[in-house]
Amino acid sequence: MTDARRFHILLVEDSPTDRLIAVQAIKLAPVETTLQFAEDGVEAMAYLRAGASDPSVQRPHLILLDLNLPKKDGRAVLAELKADSDLRLIPVVVLTTSSARDDVTHAYGLHANSYLTKPVDFSEFTRSIAMTINYWFQVVTLPTR
């Protein structure tokens, strides 16, 4: 990494097992991170809206978003997020069990930055996080194969 910057990631995931796996994979990424968790779409949007109005709430640099969430699913969260002028530029990586063509097409149509299916391949996942952060913030030196 060419910068000592710490990246704040919001992980929106209702499954404790999937959350644990994502946390372990994030630790392998060549990026210094802090994590915030939301277990449903309502909680995620409340956190994001608080960050837009309250400087003490750290705005995430990246959102990892499951599509299948209680209260408000990830599809609705993504649509709401990308329609909000204060939040739309936060990169979103969809991290979900759905590989349905409609979900993939819909997510990219709403400007998701990446789409990964679970169970997650650790190397693909860490590479996707690093590439997304590198693209948006140009601070990660990616390992060559």
Catalogue all structural domains in the chain, each as residue range(s) with its CATH number.
7-136 (3.40.50.2300)
SS3 89: coil
pTM given for the model: 0.83
Q: 19-33, 79-93, 99-113, 126-140: which range is least confident on average?
A: 126-140
Residue 144 confidence class, pLDDT cut points 50, 70, 90: very low
Residue 1 has pLDDT above 50, yes or no: no
Kind plus residue range of the DSSP H or E element containing 81:
helix 74-83
| 8 to 43, 74, 132: CA distances (angstroms) | 17, 19, 13
Kindly indicate the confidence band of residue 137, based on its pLDDT and cuts at 50, 70 and 90: confident
